[in-house]
Structure formats: structure tokens, C-alpha cells
Amino acid sequence: MLAVSTEPLSFTLEGTTAVVRMDDGKANALSEAMIDALLASLVRAEKEANAMVLVGRTDRFCAGFDLKVMMSGPDNAKALLRRGSDLLMKLYGLPIPLVIACTGHALAGGALVLLTGDVRIGAEGAFRIGLNEVSIGLPVPVLAMELARDRITATELGRATLESKIYGPDEAARVGYLDVAVPAADVVARAMEEATRLGGLSKMAYGATKSRMRGKTIEHIESTLEADMASMLPSG
């Protein structure tokens, strides 16, 4: 086992699976440091591994974008959202299998990270998962809407976005945020099993098929990002 620790996450190569564990000691917010560390981990995983498992800390998977930065002014918010959007698109389009071990709460940007995974294993418990933008007076961004449209069941999409419905793990698995919810003690092991299974598929065929499946959505999100941010976060 080879390990490299870079706060606020660690990267471990376990066999042919890259295991990335987010742990900022708090709620695993998508801060500049977390985003940069995740982007670096994706580059390394694609080079060194056949699959990747993304894990949160106990009871906290990811709290979404760093509120301190988001509240510090529209220009700072846009800069963080640009970097975060780049991360989400790279997660969503990662050529190797991406398995997510959702260890706890995943709200807003954290729920979006879930939506980028190929297989999502969630911990059972009193955890909250979902997009809460409308409930706090914000429109759901194009990026979030398109990821939700792709992964959330059609009959639940309105409740998940327009109504800001927040789900427990079992419900989240039913509607598409997760694929399955299992006892918390089993989450990482189950994710590793899935990564091993998917990592045994042809790397070339998997990556090419994933590009065909998600490429147009990525292009649309990237082409609308600046206009969408300008409408939500006007400067000055």
C-alpha cells in the first residue's frame, strides 16, 4: 500500500484502486484547498489506478461550497464556483470508474458530488442528502439542474430541485442520489468491492463509453457556466 497525505485529504493506492479520503476536520466543505487537492488526486488516480473510491469523514461526506467564500462577495463566489464546476465536471467525466462512499450528510455541492459518481454507496443513518438552493432563496444552477436531470428519477426531479426536498439515505437511494444504502460500517468495504469489479473492465472501453454518455452534458454545462453565474451573482 502506497500513501500520500495532503491536507485536507489523503490519497492511498490500494492494489489498482485509488482511495481518496476527504477530511478537513469539519464538514468537508468545498474550499479552495479541498478543490485543488481533489483535482490533483483525480490526475493521479487516472494515471495510476483502474478505479477510484471517494470517501468522506465519519457522519460528514461533503457540505458543499465554502460559505465563507461564497458570502465574501460575488467575484470571490464566482471564482470558487468556476473551480468547483471544473472539479464536478472532471469527477463526472473521469475516464476510470468512480465509486463514492457517502459516509454522512451531503447537501448542495456535496449532493452534486454524489451525482457525479458511477456507483454511490451511502451510509444508513440520520443523514441529510439533497439540493437546498431554492429553500434558501437561490435558483438551482444549470450545472446542478443538469446533473440532477441525469441522475434523479424523472418523477422525483421536481421535488428534488423546485421543492428543495432533502432525503434520508434510503430515500436517496430510491430517487437516484445513491444506488444503495448500507450499514455505516460496511460503506467503504462495499465501495471497494464495486471499484474492484468495475476496475476489471476494459479501461479504454469504459472511458470511451462514459465520454459518449456524458460528453454532451459536460459541453452544455461548460458553455452556459459564465452566463448562468452572471444571472445569479451580478457583479458590483
Model pLDDT, residue 233: 82
pLDDT of residue 199 exceeding 70: yes
Q: Which contiguous run of DSSP H or E holds residue 175?
A: helix 169-175
State the Cα–Cα distance between residues 203 and 199, nearest whole angstrom: 7
Task: List pLDDT tens digits, range 14-59.
Answer: 999 999 999 999 999 999 999 999 999 999 999 999 999 999 999 9
Task: List pLDDT tens digits, range 128-138.
Answer: 999 999 999 98
C-alpha cell at 157: 426531479
Confidence of residue 71 (pLDDT cuts 50, 70, 90): confident
Q: Which of 16-30, 63-77, 90-104, 186-200 has the lowest mean pLDDT?
A: 63-77
The residues pairing with 60 across neighbouring beta strands, listed in sequence order, are 57, 105
Q: Which domains does the chain have, with CATH numbers?
A: 2-232 (3.90.226.10)
State the Cα–Cα distance between residues 181 and 171, nearest whole angstrom: 9
